[in-house]
Amino acid sequence: MERIEHHASFDGWQDVYQHESTTLGCTMKVGVYLPPQAQHGKVPVLYWLSGLTCTEQNFITKAAVQRYAAEHGIAVVAPDSSARGEGVADDPAYDLGQGAGFYVNATQEPWAANHRMYDYVVQELPALIEAHFPVTAERSISGHSMGGHGALVIALRNPGRYRSVSAFSPIVAPTQVPWGHKAFEAYLGSDREVWKQYDTVELIRTVQERLPLLVDQGLGDEFLESQLQPDLLRKACDETGHPLTLNLRPGYDHSYYFIASFIGEHMAHHASALKR
């Protein structure tokens, strides 16, 4: 882990590291915020997954998360949203290829060699973080849009691994919307049964662990009806009895202005679970 940025923030440190990923076959960048409590002992970790086109920079520079991480004594780890670099498969469109990994393990060419963000987030990244930083094995996970989809899917598919999960504007049913159709067809092939393993609404129907879901959605979001459709999540949770807090926020859009407005509530949600 090579540190390439180092910034004092709320008596802690907002750093950026890079490392060679064996899972993704490329150099990855990761934002790591260590709160002041980490100077005296190990702290729990929130993993944040960003959305389409984002890098590790968007969340750490726009969400104002450091204030709340310092208040609650939580490290925040925010990786880039996909494999990147020369030799990594890409596409001219913003919603496929580099910056659009969708937190799946691709099985189709030319994507399979590098686009394995699911394994990176679940396995390689936490192993590195827990080996190199003063953190515990207590984890929570959150994200935005494509990253909200990733956070929900990863938490639901790995019972006991995360203390809590939340999402802003998540793609809750990618098997039913255009973004998901395009990405899953490319990364996973044409078998739609395979797609369901990365679909929150489908997973809710079969999971054994009833980890409560906290979801915030802006009602002024331009992608609300076409890509996000939170009512599908509400319906699935109602049918299965899965605990869900769905906050519909009038006037808020898909931007980091929205995330920054409510990140404090999400951090309190995760702090409560991590400190139990």
Read off the tokens for 20. Answer: 């060679």
Q: How many of the other CB atoms lie within 10 Å of CB of 239?
A: 10
Q: How far is CA 207 from CA 93, 195, 200, 257, 275, in A?
A: 34, 16, 10, 33, 24
The catalytically annotated residue of 169, 221, 266, 270 is 221
Q: Is 270 assigned a catalytic role?
A: no
> First CA to last CA across the chain, in angstroms?
31
Catalytic residue among 72, 149, 254, 266: 254
> Is 90 in the active site?
no
Kindly report the backbone phi and psi dihedral angles of residue 252, in degrees, each rounded to the nearest multiple of 5, phi listed first. -80, 145
Assess whether 82 carries a catalytic annotation: no
Neighbours of 124 (CB within 10 A): 18
Q: Which of 97, 66, 67, 65 is nearest to 81 (CA)?
A: 97
Distance from CA of residue 139 to its chain's centroid?
A: 13
CA-to-CA dists, residue 179 to 114, 132, 170, 219, 255, angstroms: 20, 36, 12, 19, 18
Catalytic residue among 145, 164, 166, 169: 145
Residues tagged active-site: 145, 221, 254
